[in-house]
Amino acid sequence: MANREFVESIGRLRVIATQVATVTVGTGTRHFQVCQVAFDRAGSILVQCPYFPGRHGILAAPSQDPAADGPVTYDLTEGGKLTSHLVKLSHHPDGNVHFSQDGKILTMVRRRTFPLATTIGLVFRLHIFYPEAFTEVTQAKKGRAYLPFVFAGPVPQALTVFADWRRRRAMEANLDLPNGVAGPATQLISRTTGVAFSVFFVMQPAGFPLRDHLLVVGVEPAHPLPTVTEPTMILLGGFDPHEGTEPGQRVPQTGLLAWKYPQDPSEDLRSLLGSVDLDAQPRF
């Protein structure tokens, strides 16, 4: 899964400059595809997981108390809709974020958050349980960039994939660059925990509009949950921006978008929430 054709040097960074990248996790011999991160020509960021072994899920737009301190519990029935399709998260340059899948669902679950051209923020966090149930890489696709995260021992039962939208020049300024350059794969140190974690720098390719920014894509082991006993994925996206209007100002989190797969599409839940699937809409 060599990425040499996609590596570009820009400033003091080396980045993976590509329209589509697949995140994989694995060992030295086996790799599993967990999600796909892409850009469209308008500059939108698109996230989807076609490798998950299931189709029934719930899409939601839960709110959050901006004064909440500590762990937050989200109610996925708030603004929630059922689906029988694997959807994509689209974060557009103007800050509109929604779940969609052309020709398969209605684009109903959405919110507005930070614009990509002028600010920074967390694009998504994808919590994965039993990643070895996802589609294994048997042959790398020609023309496809891959972001491989390799573990020395077994693949952890629970993982978190994340992507932060950052300014390229700020990344250069904040990195310790003993050799003058960093990337496309490197290690960063968490400011909160002090723990090192691996990331890739991913940028829109030449000719795309938002190349003053880049995505920092990483994977971290997470704690397994005893209540989760089957392959599961929970995505959180559509976060509020990291920056306020004043330097150093943090913006309180007021809500987000979420999906969860699998979700049992019981009749009671279907009656309560309804579905976004086009083939489930009433015909007149």
Asked if the structure places residue 40 within a domain, the reply is yes
Asked if the structure places residue 65 within a domain, the reply is yes
pLDDT at 2 over 80: no
DSSP assignment letter at 241 = P
Show the tokens assigned to 247. Answer: 């330097």
Which residues of the chain form beta strands (DSSP E)?
7-10, 13-17, 20-26, 31-39, 45-48, 57-60, 81-83, 88-91, 96-100, 110-112, 121-129, 145-150, 158-167, 185-189, 196-203, 213-221, 232-237, 257-261
pLDDT at 191 over 70: no
Phi-psi region of 212 (alpha: psi -120 to 50; beta: other; left: phi over 0): alpha
Three-point CA angle 177, 181, 187, nearest 5°: 65
Asked if the structure places residue 129 within a domain, the reply is yes
State yes or no: cis peptide before 178, omega within 30 of 0.
no
Q: How many CB atoms lie within 10 A of CB 168?
A: 19
pLDDT at 94 over 60: yes
- pLDDT of 21-44, one tens digit each? 999 999 988 999 999 999 999 999
Residues 57 and 36: their CA atoms lie apart, in Å, by: 18
Residue 183 pLDDT class (50, 70, 90 cuts): confident
pLDDT at 284 over 60: no
Residue 54's SS3 state is coil
Min mean pLDDT across 56-65, 69-78, 146-155 is at 69-78
Q: How many CB atoms lie within 10 A of CB 165?
A: 20
Domain that holds residue 32: 4-9+19-166+223-272
Residues 77 and 81: their CA atoms lie apart, in Å, by: 8
Residue 173 pLDDT class (50, 70, 90 cuts): confident
Pair 98, 109: CB distance under 8 Å: yes
Show the tokens assigned to 184. Answer: 């496309």
pLDDT at 197 over 60: yes
The whole-number pLDDT of residue 177 equals: 66
Phi-psi region of 70 (alpha: psi -120 to 50; beta: other; left: phi over 0): left
**Torsion from C-alpha of 188, 35, 62, 45, nearest 10 degrees:** 80
Min mean pLDDT across 39-43, 176-180, 263-267 is at 176-180
Asked if the structure places residue 102 within a domain, the reply is yes
In the chain, the number of structural domains is 1
273's CB contacts (< 8 A; 6+ apart) are 58, 77, 80, 81, 82
Asked if the structure places residue 181 within a domain, the reply is no
The whole-number pLDDT of residue 76 equals: 93
User: What share of the chain in percent tops pLDDT 70?
Assistant: 94
- pLDDT of 106-143, one tens digit each? 999 999 999 999 999 999 999 999 999 999 999 888 88
Min mean pLDDT across 18-22, 223-227, 264-268, 273-277 is at 264-268
pLDDT at 1 over 80: no
Asked if the structure places residue 32 within a domain, the reply is yes
Asked if the structure places residue 197 within a domain, the reply is no
